Structure 1
Amino acid sequence: MISVGELSVFAGGRPLVHEVSFEVGAGERVGLIGESGSGKSLTASAIMGLLPEELRATGSITFHGKQLIGTSERQLSQLRGAELAMVFQEPMTALNPLMRVGRQVAESIHLHNRKSRRAARAQAATLLEAVGLGDVARAYPHQLSGGQRQRIMLAIALANDPSLLICDEPTTALDVTVQAQMLELILAGVSERDAALLFITHDLAVVAKVCERLLVMHDGRIVEEGSTRAVLTEPKHEYTRKLLAASDLEAA
């Protein structure tokens, strides 16, 4: 599905991400874990082609056999929202505050699938029902709770049946009950579409529920990888052991 090879991200001459390599297969659920500042979100932004202008990426990101680094913004924008989709940590930065949320979901469908606006609105209504928000289509983002806004972002991300869904700390600001509901919706969404999932978080309890395989990132490098069970019960790297010691989970 997607292969990342020796990816580095630079700010000027200073490397922020160092030669990161990993793959995510079709239908696979992979967690990218590490503390804040470890390079997780920069890696995701590089995959999506959304790095700030002052940063540059080198290496290789191959998606369905197509090299993304060096690809034009026009080509990347055709992939984003269609084949590649992302749920951000703070939805208010991604949602249009001046547009009703139902219309925002419908616009994503209309733009990428070339469907009529009527067909797009109908599909948007179905998606909103699927994430438990069938009655908020005419609301504006500021009228919704944080959990509701994240559900809207998930509906937009799933609108065009992406091959790869990236979730960047989507449950960090949510209470435990809403977090559990959001995780169930994410898992159902990727399962129904046989989509690959790259789930970024610092919460080990969350990835233990969601992911089959883990990548552990520290100081811009992947320091450990393996099955979720192996990494969480038999961590090999000192940094992974520190993460476990600081969490509610304990290594066996």
Structure 2
Amino acid sequence: MEHHVSIWPILALAFIHFFGNRLRFLAEMPRSVWLSGASGVSVAYVFLHLFPELGQGQEHIESTWWAEEFLSHHVYLMTLIGLMVFYGLERAIISAKNITASDVIDEEQTGWFWLHIGSFALYNALIGYLLFQREEGVMQEMLLFAVAMALHFLVNDIGLQEHHREVYRRKGRWVLVVALLAGWATGLLIEVSETAVVLLMAFVGGGVILNVLKEELPEERESRYWAFVLGAGLYAVILLSL
């Protein structure tokens, strides 16, 4: 199948990791209204656009083996799995961090930093692949996905900088950029079934929900609820009006 390839959306997402460390004002406490608003946009996209799309895709999936057949009829189970996988990784990382020293050398040597970055690298690769898949559809669909993921990446990037500080700026962000580009490039070489694309989208949707909530809910972040609601509401209006 021929694709009309446009490289600028993937470069825009990579740009977030390249230059996110320069947006120091977003990392201040109480939480920036811009980050809470960005989180609201991401959640609105998942609930009002991604989930309805999964429901439509489920009706047209052709299953080829028993597990795929089961999941194709229970596509939202993959969303739950995505949420549980990323929640489990976060809990494992927090537990590992609590029993190690907090300096950069220990962080790298004990491996929990690489586990954390590795999980987000997989996440980025999946999003990069799905962004490429979006390019064979309507431009509007790709733009909605790219905008929501760009804002979501901004939230993730600031959170990872708060967790890992200098080691993230020196190494972690480059790993995420490479993973994102690798996922997009994989789309150029490998075309998977519609079933697999729908299931990947469901898995990523669960990850988005978990990653947004873990950044917004902790009391110490002093998140701006009104900004979250405003971001979600404004993007909901855009999605429902298209």
Q: Same fold (TM over 0.5)?
A: no
Higher helix share: 2
* TM-score computed with the length of structure 1 as normaliser: 0.31
TM-score norm. by structure 2 comes to: 0.32
Higher relative contact order (CA 8 A, sep 6+): 2
